[in-house]
Amino acid sequence: MALHDELEAFNRGFVAQVPDNIVSTMNDAVQILQSSGLTERALQAGQHAPDFDLPELNGKKVKLSEALKRGVVVITFYRGSWCPYCNLEMQALQKALPDIEAAGAQLIAIAPELPEFAAQTRDKGNLTFPLLSDQNNETAKQYGLVFTLPESLRPIYESFGIDLPASHGNDHFELPMPATYIIAPDGKVMSAFVDVDYTKRMEPTDIIKILKTI
């Protein structure tokens, strides 16, 4: 099943179980974010990807400029282990990892959560690619992806058992828009997928198709 279909199926089930007023509040927040122009201000194809030096779960640092010396890098920004849409995306990327690597690319995922929470993402999907901890969203901010979670959504998230201050190690309530970038060895962004709608992600098969053209 395509990732798009998995996400759609999960979202239908979620909406069917959640009170209409909560669904409406969440949809309104997405609409407001869409009208803010944040997507258009984010890093786009043709631009140069900002460098970063972020820790993996084992504490080892991953520097983008060093990774690019070994070839193309695919970076995906996700929200956290608490996000079921992110977990579906990570699992789909894990399935596609052999083809991504066969196309000569490396896959890296980045989230603002602390390493112990990122470990939950790894364990849920049996992930073997690097998960980097972007504390305070410093790298996501350089990529133009960060927004502050509206006050209206915070009690809803809490009712779902989502504790962002604990996950992030701060009380900023900042999240990155889900985004996937394919970056050439010279640091140029060859492809960019950015969407304020957290239920939308880049299809792994599309990533592979683009990699085969580089």
- 3-state SS of the chain is CCHHHHHHHHHHHHHHHCCHHHHHHHHHHHHHHHHCCHHHHCCCCCCECCCCEEECCCCCEEEHHHHHCCCEEEEEECCCCCCHHHHHHHHHHHHHHHHHHHCCEEEEEEECCCHHHHHHHHHHHCCCCCEEECHHHHHHHHCCCEEECCHHHHHHHHHCCCCHHHHHCCCCCEEECCEEEEECCCCEEEEEEECCCCCCCCCHHHHHHHHCCC
Q: Predicted confidence band at 185 (pLDDT cuts at 50, 70, 90)?
A: very high
Q: For tokens 């066969």, name the residue.
A: 102
Query: Does position 208 have pLDDT exceeding 90, yes or no?
Result: yes
The pLDDT value recorded for residue 58 is 87
The pLDDT value recorded for residue 72 is 98
Half-sphere exposure of 171 (CA within 13 A, CB side): 1
Mean pLDDT of 1-14: 96
Query: Does position 195 have pLDDT exceeding 90, yes or no?
Result: yes
144 dihedral zone (left: phi>0; alpha: psi -120 to 50; beta): left
pTM of the model: 0.96
CA separation (Å) from 75 to 6, 13, 30, 104, 171? Answer: 21, 29, 23, 14, 26
**How far is the C-alpha of 98 from the C-alpha of 83, rounded, in Å?**
24
Query: Does position 181 have pLDDT exceeding 90, yes or no?
Result: yes
Residue 23 in tokens: 């669904």
pLDDT single digits (tens) 46-70: 999 999 999 998 889 999 999 999 9
Q: Predicted confidence band at 214 (pLDDT cuts at 50, 70, 90)?
A: confident
The pLDDT value recorded for residue 59 is 87
Name 199's Cβ contacts closer than 8 Å, sequence gap at least 6.
Answer: 7, 8, 11, 85
Backbone angles phi, psi at 184, to 5 degrees: -75, 160
Mean pLDDT of 143-154: 97
Query: Does position 114 have pLDDT exceeding 90, yes or no?
Result: yes
Q: Predicted confidence band at 1 (pLDDT cuts at 50, 70, 90)?
A: confident
Residue 7 in tokens: 């996400």
Mean pLDDT of 98-119: 96
Q: For tokens 């470990």, name the residue.
A: 119
Q: Percentage of the chain surpassing pLDDT 70? A: 100
Backbone angles phi, psi at 183, to 5 degrees: -115, 125
Structural domains of the chain sorted by starting position, each given as residue range(s) with its CATH number in brackets: 3-211 (3.40.30.10)
Name 52's Cβ contacts closer than 8 Å, sequence gap at least 6.
Answer: 63, 64, 110, 132, 134, 139, 142
